Amino acid sequence: MPVISSAGIGSNLPVDNIVSGLLAVERKPIDLLKTQNTQLQTSLSTFGKLQGSLATLRDAAAKLSRPDIWAATSASSSDSNAVSVTTTATASPGSYSIAVQSLAAAQLGASVAFASSSAVVGQGVLHIDLGTWDKDLGTFAAKTGGSTLDISIGAGEDTLEKVRDKINAAGAGITASIVNDASGARLAIKSSSTGVENGFRITVDDADGGGGDTSGLSALAYDPENGISSLAKKQSAANALATINGLEVNSATNTLTNVIDGLNVTLGKVTTSDVNISVTQDTASISKAITDYATAYSDVAKFLKEQTKYDAVSKASGALQGDRAATNLITQLRAALTGTSTAGVKYQRLADIGLDPAADGTIKVDSSKLTTALGSLADIKAMFADGSSDANQQGLAVRMRKLTDEAMGVDGALTARQDGLRRSITVNTKQQAQLEDRVANTEKRLRAQYTALDAKMAGLNGLSSYMTQQIAQFNKG
């Protein structure tokens, strides 16, 4: 029996073409499943984008639902270089007159000039105390709760730059830096904090035996109470002095945080006249929050319209065209947009304050009308933020936040729809795999049948040739 090495040789049939044609018919259900899978994936991706836009709307609604946005204030200063002000949640509208007599300062001292930053200062121990010097520098009172901090300067640590590093690493309440000029390198020592109680005293146990001279480590000593001022005083520690509405204020820093409720006041320079501070309701931030809400809603509305539309001319449809979850959400959003709240007396609808529903489902903001409405802030706040259990009195932003929370919640419509799409994609993929297996088995069966046919036809063709030869021989005889 001849061996068939290529399909169709024995039978003279186009086996590959026949099998391919039959398999193409078998693969039609797979092609349909692939198309469906692509559509499912597109819908799932579109719902993901919708959820992102809806989250932005939820956040904008939540912001308008919170009391803090409606209590926001802003402050202005007639001279912000001298006095600058920021407000906190507890600030109330009002006006203040502030005059600055002096600024808080840190004590500053400087050593004699050394040849360079690598020059040797000396060895020994620096004793650092923080506290208050009296006006004449005759008495030093240690800071309450403070203690002396000792900094040992040994061999190899006694150059100017290494002494600087030792002081800065000690955390003694003072900092050191090197100042270079034409006279050489000087060590500048400064209190880490401003205020009279953060002055410093430096006494020295000098390895050269003299603690009060200007040689060796004693060059850094500052103890005028005992007549030692090797470190020259350049600036005294001082408190800030100011008057607020005629009331004297004394502060260790130039930032006044507890002097006026809800205000942080920063003193920048001494003044020759009062600086006027005005604290007002921050309608600009409220206006922005309302406008952001309108923008967030419009973005969701435009996205849903685009994804659910059907173009009769091109016969093209959006990814969510006909999707019940999407169409239900559109209905709910429109109802929340055009609804009324009886919580506000003057304003009950968004259109009343300049947020007009447009024909395309978005919100058109009338800035002039909104600005006018912000003059009645209490009524706008009630319309947006009232948290009443009565549905009719609930604020419109409260309702929108609730709607979006429910839609995106664990059991929400959007979440359920996305879960359903994922399950459908999983089922679709499994069906494709099953049909691919069936097609593979069909191909295997068809090729086996045609191979057997080829072998049979080859045998019959050989027998036919043999009989023809025998008959020819018989006729010759």
User: Where in the sequence of the chain do the CATH 1.20.1330.10 domains occur?
Assistant: 1-72+282-477
- Does position 6 have pLDDT exceeding 60, yes or no? no
**What does the pLDDT look like over 425-473, one tens digit per residue?**
999 999 999 998 998 888 888 877 877 777 777 666 666 677 777 777 7
**Treating both helix axes as pointing N-terminal to C-terminal, what angle do 396-408 and 15-65 enclose, rounded to 10 degrees?**
150
Average pLDDT of the residues in 375-400: 88
Q: Which pLDDT band holds residue 12 (cuts at 50, 70, 90)? A: low
Instruction: Report H helices in 72-189.
Output: 160-170
Share of the chain above pLDDT 90, in %: 69
Share of the chain above pLDDT 70, in %: 95
* Phi–psi pair at 181, nearest 5 degrees: -145, -165
Burial level of 25, CB count in 10 A (0-12/13-18/19+)? exposed
Q: Which pLDDT band holds residue 11 (cuts at 50, 70, 90)? A: low
pLDDT, position 453: 75
pLDDT, position 223: 95
Instruction: Report H helices in 339-395.
Output: 367-373, 377-385
**What does the pLDDT look like over 142-187, one tens digit per residue?**
999 989 999 999 999 999 999 999 999 999 999 999 999 999 999 9
Contact 395, 65 (CB under 8 A): yes
* Phi–psi pair at 272, nearest 5 degrees: -105, -10
Burial level of 454, CB count in 10 A (0-12/13-18/19+)? buried
What are residue 95's DSSP bridge partners?
278
Spatial distance between the Cα atoms of 209 and 260, rounded to a whole number of angstroms: 54
pLDDT, position 471: 76
> Closest Cα partner for 146 from 170, 128, 133, 164?
128
- Does position 380 have pLDDT exceeding 60, yes or no? yes
Residue type, 194: T
pLDDT, position 4: 43
Spatial distance between the Cα atoms of 255 and 258, rounded to a whole number of angstroms: 9
Contact 222, 126 (CB under 8 A): no
Spatial distance between the Cα atoms of 243 and 250, rounded to a whole number of angstroms: 9
**What does the pLDDT look like over 244-295, one tens digit per residue?**
999 999 999 999 988 999 999 999 999 999 999 999 999 999 999 999 999 9
* Three-state SS at 96: strand
Better pLDDT: 336 or 107: 107
pLDDT, position 14: 73
Average pLDDT, the chain: 90
pLDDT, position 345: 80
pLDDT, position 5: 46
Instruction: Report H helices in 265-376.
Output: 283-308, 324-338, 367-373
pTM: 0.67
Q: Which pLDDT band holds residue 374 (cuts at 50, 70, 90)? A: very high
pLDDT, position 387: 82
Q: Which pLDDT band holds residue 211 (cuts at 50, 70, 90)? A: low
* Structural tokens at position 47: 């719902």
* Three-state SS at 323: coil
Fold of 1-72+282-477: f41 fragment of flagellin, N-terminal domain (1.20.1330)
Query: What is the full DSSP assignment across 193-209?
Result: S-SGGGEEEEEEEETTS
What are residue 250's DSSP bridge partners?
241
